[in-house]
Amino acid sequence: MSELICPKCGRSSDEIEFIEAFCVDCYPAKVKCPRKLEIEQCRKCGKIRIRGEWIPFSRERISEYVVSKCRGEFDGAEYLTDMGVVRFAIQGKKHVERYVEVELKGTMCTYCSRISGGYFEGIIQLRGNPKRIEKYANMLADKLEKRTFITKAEDKHGGLDIFVGSSKAVVELISELRLKADITRKLVGVKHGKKLYRTTFLIRL
Ligand SMILES: [Zn+2]
Ligand SMILES: [Zn+2]
């Protein structure tokens, strides 16, 4: 390869590595980042909202998101949360850093605001033997917490009522567990043009 001279600093390709017509130091990195990004974070559970979706707090996902907002020619990039900089790898020979301020804006996620608003779609009514009710209530609560949320549980004469965020989650769970339930659905209102139902699942134990 013939010798190259950097048009900016005058050094030769015999003394320093080159990227295209420039030495690595002078090669103009063409990267652009926003100066500031806001990410919503739930005050109650700490989840963050990335592209409209609430997810558990994760530095990797924040990094991915910040990088996705940067433009330019680079091989790879990573957002270093502690330093608040995006570190770009340029043509495998050089790193450049750009400062991006990420502000976590305190708010309330969909789930937490529903819980605090007392929202529920389904009521599981457990009736029958108190020992079996207790056993099933714990088991159902464990499994339901993984798919939706439990608004509250109330002792009722002869059993227990569990108020649950998602009826669909209850339907899936009782069919998985092969439980027999009497299901009744009641129209409780209309929100944003969508009919809202409340479903009661009566399970005799
Ligand atoms: Zn140079
Ligand atoms: Zn939350």
pLDDT tens sequence across 14-62: 999 999 999 999 999 899 999 999 999 998 889 999 999 999 999 999 9
Facing residues of 119 across strands?
none
Q: What are the residues whose beta carbon lies below 5 Å from ligand 1 (ion)?
A: 6, 8-9, 23, 26
Please state the pTM of the whole predicted model.
0.59
pLDDT at 155 over 70: yes
User: What pLDDT does 145 receive?
Assistant: 84
The mean pLDDT value for 172-198 works out to 91
Instruction: Give yes or no for residue 114 having a pLDDT over 80.
Output: no
Looking at residue 193, its pLDDT comes to 85
pLDDT at 85 over 70: yes
Mean pLDDT of the region 96-117? 88
User: How many Å lie between the centroid of ligand 2 and the Cα of residue 152?
Assistant: 16
The model's confidence at residue 111, banded by pLDDT at 50, 70 and 90, is confident
> Looking up tokens 């439990």, which residue turns up?
150
Nearest to 58 by CA among 97, 102, 99, 111: 102
- Mean pLDDT lowest for which of 2-11, 83-92, 163-172, 190-199? 190-199
Residue 79: strand pairing partners: 86
Separation between Cα atoms, residue 4 and residue 80, nearest integer Å: 35
Q: H-helix or E-strand containing 61? A: helix 59-68
Range with the poorest average pLDDT among 44-48, 82-86, 139-143, 148-152 = 148-152
**Which ligand sits nearest to residue 10's alpha carbon?**
1
DSSP H or E stretch at residue 134: helix 130-147
Mean pLDDT of 95-107: 94
The Å distance, Cα 4 to ligand 1 centre, comes to: 10
CA of 37 to the centre of ligand 2 (A): 20
What is the number of the ligand closest to the CA of 16?
Answer: 1
pLDDT band of 1, cuts 50, 70, 90? low
From the CA of 34, how far away is ligand 1's center (Å)?
27
Distance, CA of 24 to CA of 201 (rounded, Å)? 68
